[in-house]
Amino acid sequence: MTRSTGHTRVKTAKGRTAQSTRWLERQLNDPYVKKAKAEGYRSRAAYKLLELDERFNLLRGVKRVVDLGIAPGGWTQVVQKKTKGATIVGIDLLPVDPIEDVTILQMDFLSDDAPRVLTEALGGDADIVLSDMAANTVGHAQTDHLRTMALVEAGMVFACEILRPGGAYVAKVLAGGADHDLVAELKRNFTAVKHAKPPASRKGSSEWYVIAQGFKGRVDVGEEG
């Protein structure tokens, strides 16, 4: 490992691929990674939510929060920092180290039981549903996009079941944002729908976030028209 003009360069070690070497070098030189370590956040992703909150006032006054794709816990740490005593329930396929006063479920959000278990754990209507979930990529752009959009849509359906009127749904999407049909459905259920790429998202990353605010309330089947 060498340092030059403030930039850390990583030599390719035996058994380490060029790709992993580039990733390590990027991590070592990422100011958000360094800042996260210094400020006690579990991941640099915490700053994405902090920046989105600064722009959209997402966490003001929230009392109940669902964190979809909670691992490793950076977003929940932000919620705890920005709110006082909010009830937080998170879910992830991956194991997550405990976070004080947070209910963490290790299970597949797409499983049939997940919405019920999350709802019971939260104990009331949510003020906001946060989703930093991402599908495992296969390297085929269209397939990756469809898999990610399926998660966003599933999150939206759940949000519309658990949010209080006026609540919000925030989800990670890929470049180009949410599909037209999904945006139309979000606009039907929320008063404001926008896309944003927080500064903490790496410039080369394809991720964006869709921010849906002002949930209009549940509409019973057959109520429309």
> Is-contact 107 91, C-beta < 8 A?
yes
CA distance 133 to 70: 8
Is 48 labeled as catalytic in the residue annotation? no
Secondary structure of 62-95 in the HEC alphabet? CCEEEEECCCCCHHHHHHHHHCCCCEEEEEECCC
Beta bridge partners of 178: none
Q: Which of 167, 174, 184 is nearest to 151 (CA)?
A: 174
Helix, strand, coil fractions of the chain, as percent rounded to 5: 35, 25, 40
**One-letter amino acid of 204:** G
Rg (CA), the chain: 19
Strand 64-68 relative to strand 2-4, pairing: unpaired
Neighbours of 94 (CB within 10 A): 9
Pick the catalytic residue: 11, 172, 194, 203? 172
Active site residues: 172
